[in-house]
Amino acid sequence: MELRNLSFSSDGKKLRALDQTRLPGEVVYEEYDSCEEIVGAIKLMKVRGAPAIGIAAAMGIAVIAGKLAEECQDSRAFLEELSRQAEIIAQARPTAVNLSWAAKRMMNCAMGDTEGKPKEIAAKLKALAQKIYDEDTEICRKIAENGLTLIKDGDGILTHCNAGPLATSRYGTGLGPIILGLEKGMKFHCFVDETRPLLQGARLTAFELMNAGAEVSLACDSAAAQLMRSGAINAVFVGCDRVAANGDTANKVGTSTAAIAAKYYGVPFYVFCPSPTIDLSCKSGEDIVIEQRDEWEVAGLYFDRQIAPKGVKCVNPAFDITDGKLITAIVTEKGICLPPYEESLKNAAIRRL
């Protein structure tokens, strides 16, 4: 079963998105045509994963442009309102650079045609949004091919969070090599971190990998070090939401813990990302804003009652920073980047704006 998580609706006037909060129990698609709905879907993580958020932003801006073009014939007023709503979408979540990257690319296209009529600009934006989707599909395929050279048939691979097709357009980043390898007849034993508190590993990665035919074992996040110590893990594969110029990466909280354990036990730790995720303007992980989410996700989400004492304070950073010194390699569509990352990432970083 292949799930396409993002597309335009059948009439082309709405963003159609798979609600990832309902997985794995239900496969439900929702459609959005307003800034508020699109921002809500991103904030509530109905749409999640750095590349997917970028695609959703692009398609969402195209949908809003089409709607505004029906209501406004004045190009200046059209562009001003579109720019305002695009900025709101770009700020929906602060850590993943793909979101602001896609919004900026869309608005650069719109502002480059100030003499065009609103409907003409809207048509160009819709075509660009589809192009961004198609580009991501090709990027993921190349990342998968590059990553597949790092593992061999029968390897045990640890994953954290979700970096598969649901987080991108197809194949995924961190799961791409595994899924491509399975398509080629290879076999892997995938150890999937639950990824507390939102359980992206348990709900999404296990779902995707089982769907692809992999042998899957779900594990508590705290079991990762013991699995490495036992020799069951040959490599760790993770995605990321932002890569700094020095190779520091931001990914779902718990990633740095796995990286530290991997370094200690001599297990290769690989980060997978499309080139738009590389942010050379960000010198190090210290410059990356870490999103802080609601305390309730820690104390009560996915439980039938609150599991912690009433009134206890919770901390809930959505991401953590993995030091570049802990990362064996960063895999992009342009190749495999090795330390020193200050040099290798320059060649991989591209911006189509």
> Taking Cα atoms as reference points, which of 353, 334, 337 lies closest to residue 139?
334
Contact 349, 280 (CB under 8 A): yes
SS3 24: coil
Report the CATH fold assignment for 142-348. Answer: Rossmann fold (3.40.50)
| Rg of the chain over all Cα atoms, to the nearest angstrom | 20
Sequence-separated contacts (24+) of 347-351 with Cβ below 8 Å: 348/275, 348/278, 349/275, 349/278, 349/280, 350/275, 350/276, 351/101, 351/276
Task: From the options 1.20.120.420, 3.30.450.20, 1.10.4030.10, 1.10.645.10, give the CATH code of 6-140.
Answer: 1.20.120.420
With CA atoms as reference, report the closest residue to 47 among 33, 57, 36.
Answer: 57
Helix, strand and coil content of the chain, in percent to the nearest 5, comes to 45, 15, 40
ω before 197 within 30° of 0 (cis)?
yes
Residues 6 or more apart in contact with residue 77 via CB below 8 angstroms = none
Cis peptide preceding 340, ω within 30 of 0: yes
Q: What pLDDT was estimated at residue 143?
A: 98
Domain boundaries, the chain: 6-140, 142-348
CB atoms < 10 A from the CB of 268, how many?
16
Is the fold of 6-140 the same as that of 142-348? no
Q: Per-residue pLDDT for the chain (353 aa), expressed as one digit of tens each?
A: 667 899 999 999 999 999 999 999 999 999 999 999 999 999 999 999 999 999 999 999 999 999 999 999 899 999 999 999 999 999 999 887 899 999 999 999 999 987 889 999 999 999 999 999 999 999 999 999 999 999 999 999 999 999 999 999 989 999 999 999 999 999 999 999 999 999 999 999 999 999 999 999 999 999 999 999 999 999 999 999 999 999 999 999 999 999 999 999 999 999 999 998 999 999 999 999 999 999 999 999 999 888 999 999 999 999 999 999 999 999 999 999 999 999 999 988 865 44
**How would you classify the pairing of strands 242-244 and 249-252?**
antiparallel
Output the pLDDT for position 96.
Answer: 79
**Predicted TM-score of the model (pTM):** 0.90
Distance between CA atoms of residues 37 and 40, nearest Å = 5
What local confidence, expressed as pLDDT, does residue 352 receive? 45
Q: 3-class DSSP state for residue 162?
A: coil
Q: Which positions are annotated as active-site residues?
A: 241
**DSSP code of 290?**
P
Record the tokens describing residue 186, joined without a space.
């290879």
Token look-up 């036990």 returns 265
Give the contacts of 190 (CB within 8 A, at least 6 positions apart).
Answer: 156, 157, 158, 159, 178, 209, 214, 215, 216, 217
